[in-house]
């Protein structure tokens, strides 16, 4: 893989976005259900669980899990 300027910029962006108190995918996955429940209750999940919010911003796989669970629970709630 050739390192282009665009790839280097993306890598630096990820490095600069790293926080001392961040969570990993396993921890995020364990907390996603609570995050979704707070969101569906109309409260601010982002304020209640900022580490999950930050992880979801950075991790596409966890974000996809979150979006799928949110959509499924919204569908159940409507039906």
- The domains of the chain are located at 21-78
Q: Is residue 23 predicted with pLDDT exceeding 90?
A: yes
CA angle 39, 79, 66 (to 5 degrees): 35
Q: How many residues can be counted in the chain? A: 79
Segment 33-53 mean pLDDT: 96
- Whole-number pLDDT of residue 63: 97
Q: What is the structure's pLDDT at 24? A: 93
Given pLDDT bands bounded at 50, 70 and 90, which one contains residue 19?
A: low
CA atoms within 13 A on the CB side of 70: 16
């Amino acid at each position: 893989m050739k390192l282009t300027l665009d790839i280097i910029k993306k890598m630096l962006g990820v490095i600069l976005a790293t926080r001392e108190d961040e969570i990993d995918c396993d921890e995020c996955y364990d907390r996603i259900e609570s995050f979704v429940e707070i969101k569906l209750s109309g409260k601010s999940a982002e304020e209640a669980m900022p580490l999950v919010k930050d992880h979801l911003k950075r991790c596409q796989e966890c974000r996809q899990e979150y979006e799928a669970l949110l959509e499924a629970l919204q569908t159940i709630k409507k039906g």
